[in-house]
Structures are given as C-alpha cells and as structure tokens.
C-alpha cells in the first residue's frame, strides 16, 4: 500500500508547491479572480451541497471556510475578526438585558471603542502620530503596522449590528455561530458590500434554496464582475493608467486627461466588479445582498452620484453618522456642516492620508452646494432632471468626480497638481490620434467599458434573463469562456482589488 506521499508523487503533485498555494502569501492574497480560489470554491460547493439539509453543520463549515479565506488575505490577523465577533455578540446581548438607558449607552460605547479602536490602531496610528509631531515641531518615525485586509468593512458591518440593537431596531442573536457566520461570510468579507444585520440575519437559518432565477442571476453577475475586474480594469490599469499617474509630467495634457478618464473607469470596474462577484457568489449559496453600484456615472448631480456609488457605504454613513449628527433636522447651516463632516470622515475611512481627506472634503462641499442650490431653485428632493438639462448635469457631475479621482489616486498633492498643470497648460490635442494608435487596445476596452456602463438598464436586465434561460451546460460554457479570456489577458502577477487597501 502506498502512503499519502507516495500517492501524491504518483499523481505528480508537488507537495511544496501545494503547501505554498494553501498558506498565506502576503504578495498574492486570495481573490475571486485567482486560480486558487476557483479550485477551492469548486471543492467548497461540493461540501456545501452535501450539508444543505444540516443547517448548523453548514453554517459551521461556511464560517470555517470564511476564516480560512480571510487567513489567505491577511495571515494571522484573522484573530481580529474573532475579537470583533465575540465582543459585539456579547455586548449586544448585555445591551438587550440592560434596564436603564445609561447602561445601553455604556455598552454601545464599548462596541464603538473596540471596533473603532482596532480600526484606528491598525489604520491611523502612523498618520495621527505624524500629524501631531508636525504640529509640535517634533519628528516621528513610522511604526511597522500591518493593515489587515478589509478591516474597515467588517468593523463597520459589526457596528451596524450593535447600533441597531441599541436603537431597538433588531433583537440580538442568541447563537454565537449565527453571528460569526454573519460577520465573516466570505463573499463580502474583505471588500464589501457592507451587509446590514437586519437584511442578512433573517436569511441565515432558512432552508437552503437556490431558484433557477437566483442561479442564473448569480452566474451573470460573476461573469460580468470577472470581465469588469480582470479584463477591463486590470488591462487599462497596467498598460496605461499606472504609467500616466506614476509620471504625469512625462506626458502631455491630453494623455493625462485620458489617464484620468481611464482611472475613473478602472476604479468603477474594479470595485463594482468585486461587488458583482460577491453578490453573485452569495446568490449561488442561497443569500441575497442589496445592490452596491447602480451605474454611478449616469448621475446628473453629486447627490445622485452618492445614491449610486458604493451604496452600502454611503447608506451606512447616512444612517449611522449623518443622521446621528442631526441630519437635516437642525437647520440648513447645520445640514451643510453635517454633510461636510460626514464626507470628511468618509474620505478618512478610505485611508490614512491627506489625499483621501481632501477627496472627501471636495465631495462634502459639493453635496452642501447642491443642497443649497436645490433650496434656491425650489426643486424637490429626489426630483430628476430631464432632457438636455440632465445631459449637461451628467457631463458636469462626471467631470467633477473625475477631478476628485485625481486627488484620490495620487498619494501626494504635488503629483495631483502636476497632473492638473499638464492638463491645463500643455494639453496638445494634436497628439490624440497618435495616442489612439499607440494604445488602441486600451482605448478599445475603455470605449467598451463606458459603453456598457451607459447603456439602458433594460439591456442589462435582458442579458441577465438570457443567462437565466440558458441550460446548465450553457451557463458552464459561459463561465469557462470568461475564465479563459481572463487567463489570456491577465498579467504575470495577480492584481489585488483596489478596495483591499481600505
């Protein structure tokens, strides 16, 4: 009889390579578009289906797989996920048992301290220490603090649970496994969407059921997400956008402007592609997530943009920060201030850097100005412009968002100013035909990406329904085809999702 090693050798399996694939590699985090995830997910689905009637065993299996998924993204720092889970589970239980309001406030403050404390330490320690050192005239040497992937997402998700319990909008769970399943559910764990407890918890112990509509819609979202991320976003990033942003002064203004347009498409395809895959994978597992992107560049105002872009974050900031600050209940001046403060903190959420703060402030001021303009013109909340007015609104909003992306993408202000200086002083439009010829593949993908973004919603629904109607073999062939396309176009190194850094 062969032992396991001999059997693996007979099957020509390299144990060292297999070990390297299965353990954490800081240079190659596991993402949905990686080969290792596709193989592991295939094995995961097999066991998931075998456990479909054993709810508790299935929840345990998915939770363990989710922790392994997070381990493959951040190594030993998966213990942070456990700390947040256990602490907020018991805090919510204690909060529900509290008989007086001050006790409830004490427990929700404890949840805020734990979640925001972890977030501040790992994400903002160096930034804050450097800021205070500059204020006092001292010097500061940055500490070597690892930023765990997705910490901003799972802390905000867990906070939404404890805050909702505090507000008595939901009742706390009584089973730690259920809560661990909710917080760690791998499709949305490391880059969102931020899933609310009130939406997800009722689905946890329902009998597993995946309708033909859910399965087809899931395949459609996975295929479209893979195409957006691994074909459009990665290709235009590596072959054009990175070159422009890394050395803006080496390129003319028209090249810099095209680089900004390219980044606007890149970040949308990257992040919405991840969200699509997350929502699609969840559907295959029998769970529903809310939409996270709704064609944001079709927006005719900055307010509409934030109703369409990263909806799970913008709605989180609205419900738990903007409304808590007073929202629009304390006068117009206070409303404008609340909008700016909310977006300031939203910018800081994206990263410990002044460029993110400035980006958030730009959006906050724009939101306040738009609210003021709505009041002056007497337009009602939610009222949409039509015709030529909407067209110009979309053009202006898109270019304002692109202007803000310059500061979001560049790590320092000097690079952003260099890029703007090139655009406004050395535009050289005569280079445009030469640019198109030299980068025709990039511009073809950019044209395709923007075309798919701006097509009517009915086209997407029609495509989704067409995939739903395909037989199983047709769905499988479609998935294989997109994976093959990704393999043909991918670079030598895996390109992490942009929002992994947040």
Phi and psi dihedrals of 437, rounded to 5? -65, -45
Pair of tokens at residue 300: 């005719």
Of 388, 389, 385, 423, nearest in space to 403 by CA: 423
CA atoms of 122 and 125, how far apart (whole Å): 7
Is 27 among the residues known to form the active site? Answer: no
Q: Rounded CA gap, 88 and 95, in Å?
A: 10
Name the DSSP class of 192: -
- Rounded distance, CA 239 to CA 278, Å? 26
Q: Check if the beta carbon of residue 155 is closer than 8 Å to that of residue 121.
A: no
Distance CA 109, CA 105 (A): 6
Place of tokens 């990039």: 442
Residues 6 or more apart in contact with residue 273 via CB below 8 angstroms: 224, 225, 226, 227, 228, 229, 230, 233
Selection from 441, 494, 459, 499 nearest residue 38 by Cα: 494
Other C-beta atoms lying within 10 Å of the C-beta of residue 10: 9
Q: Which of 19, 27, 310, 350 is catalytic?
A: 350
How many other CB atoms sit within 10 Å of the CB of residue 493?
9
Q: How far is CA 72 from CA 121, 157, 259, 305, 327, in A?
A: 22, 21, 32, 34, 40
Q: Report the alpha-carbon distance of residue 73 to residue 61 in Å, rounded.
A: 19
- Residue 333: Cβ-neighbour burial (10 angstroms; 0-12, 13-18, 19+): exposed
* 3-state secondary structure (DSSP) of residue 149: coil
DSSP annotation of 27 reads: T
What distance in Å separates the CA atoms of residue 65 and residue 58, rounded to the nearest whole number? 11
What is the rounded CA–CA span in Å between residue 66 and residue 180? 10
CB-based contacts of 470: which residues, under 8 Å, 6+ apart? 216, 478
| 244 phi, psi to nearest 5 deg | -70, -50
Residues designated as active site: 350
């Amino acid at each position: 009889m062969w032992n396991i090693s001999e059997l693996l050798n007979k099957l020509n399996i390299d144990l060292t390579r297999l070990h390297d694939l299965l353990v954490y590699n800081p240079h190659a985090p596991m993402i949905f578009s990686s080969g290792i995830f596709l193989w592991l997910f295939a094995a995961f689905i097999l066991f998931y289906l075998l456990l479909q009637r054993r709810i508790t065993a299935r929840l345990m299996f998915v939770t363990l797989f989710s922790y392994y998924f997070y381990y493959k993204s951040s190594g030993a720092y998966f213990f942070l996920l456990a700390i947040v889970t256990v602490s907020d589970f018991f805090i919510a239980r204690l909060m529900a048992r509290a008989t007086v309001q001050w006790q409830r406030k004490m427990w929700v403050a404890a949840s805020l301290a734990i979640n925001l404390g972890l977030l501040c330490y790992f994400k903002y320690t160096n930034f804050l220490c450097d800021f205070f050192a500059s204020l006092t005239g001292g010097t500061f040497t940055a500490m070597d603090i690892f930023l765990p992937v997705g910490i901003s997402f799972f802390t905000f998700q867990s906070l939404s649970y404890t805050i909702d319990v505090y507000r008595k909008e939901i009742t706390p769970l009584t089973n730690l496994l259920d809560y661990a399943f909710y917080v760690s559910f791998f499709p949305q764990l490391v880059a969102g969407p931020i899933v609310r407890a009130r939406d997800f918890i009722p689905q946890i112990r329902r009998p597993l059921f995946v309708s033909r509509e859910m399965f087809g819609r899931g395949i459609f979202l996975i295929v479209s997400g893979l195409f957006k991320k691994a074909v459009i976003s990665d290709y235009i990033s590596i072959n054009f956008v990175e070159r422009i942003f890394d050395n803006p002064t080496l390129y003319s203004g028209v090249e810099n402007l095209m680089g900004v347009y390219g980044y606007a498409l890149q970040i949308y395809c990257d992040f919405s592609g991840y969200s699509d895959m997350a929502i699609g994978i969840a559907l295959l597992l029998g769970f529903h997530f809310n939409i996270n992107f709704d064609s944001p560049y079709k927006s005719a105002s900055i307010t509409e943009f934030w109703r369409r872009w990263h909806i799970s974050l913008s709605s989180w900031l609205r419900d738990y920060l903007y409304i808590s600050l007073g929202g629009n209940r304390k006068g117009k001046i206070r409303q404008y201030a609340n909008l700016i403060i909310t977006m300031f903190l939203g910018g800081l959420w994206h990263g410990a850097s002044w460029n993110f703060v400035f980006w958030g402030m730009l959006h906050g001021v724009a939101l306040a100005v738009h609210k003021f303009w709505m009041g002056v013109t007497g337009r009602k909340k939610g009222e949409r412009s039509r015709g030529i007015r909407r067209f110009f609104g979309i053009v202006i909003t898109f270019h304002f968002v692109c202007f803000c992306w310059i500061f979001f993408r560049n790590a320092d202000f000097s690079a952003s100013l260099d890029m703007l200086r090139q655009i406004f002083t050395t535009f050289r439009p005569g280079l445009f035909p030469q640019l198109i010829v030299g980068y025709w593949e990039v511009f073809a993908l950019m044209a395709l990406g923007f075309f798919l973004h701006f097509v009517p919603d009915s086209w997407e629904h029609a495509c989704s329904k067409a995939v739903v109607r395909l037989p199983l073999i047709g769905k499988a062939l479609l998935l294989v085809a997109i994976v093959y396309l990704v393999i043909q176009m991918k670079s030598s190194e895996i390109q992490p999702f942009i929002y992994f850094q947040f």
